[in-house]
Structure 1
């Protein structure tokens, strides 16, 4: 059974997933419309928002990514939060 975390964690993760979706969509769009300045502006805004959300989540609940993409605490806390498929 997965560990239950506060409602705030799930709300923040939902926000992060929504921003990730927009980033993927904008990436695909920009692959075919590389000169769309407004889309580039939106992409950069979302990238900044993603960084902010990731930092907030990790500062409270621990690392989200492995292989050097997130810092971990001591003791090793990589497995403290639920895995993505457990949300």
Structure 2
């Protein structure tokens, strides 16, 4: 059963996706420029931001990752929709 989620759900998920996109791009850049101190600082900043946003998301809406990467609430919350990849 799909349930309607509040606008904050979608806003937070979009922010997580944007920050993770920046991390992918910085990773690719750093693979070819490993001595760029400023890029490493940016990467670490966004890595921390990603972790904070994901923690906030999971606290409000449930797990983002499976196989032990995210905790589940009681009762088991993996059957709650929508899942992040469904929106």
Structure 1: state its 5+ residue gaps.
Answer: none
Q: Which residue of 2 aligns with 1:24?
A: 24
Over 6 Å off, 4+ runs: none
- The yes-or-no answer on 1:66 pairing with 2:72 is no
Map residues 66-85 of structure 1 onto 2, 5 A cutoff: 66-85=66-85
- The yes-or-no answer on 1:54 pairing with 2:54 is yes
Map residues 9-20 of structure 1 onto 2, 5 A cutoff: 9-20=9-20
SS for the counterpart of 1:65 is: coil
The two structures have a TM-score, normalised by structure 2, of 0.93
Q: How many pairs align?
A: 87
Identify if the C-alpha distance between structure 1 residues 62 and 84 changes in structure 2 by more than 3 Å, giving closer, same or farther: closer
Q: Alignment RMSD, CA only?
A: 1.2
The two structures have a TM-score, normalised by structure 1, of 0.93
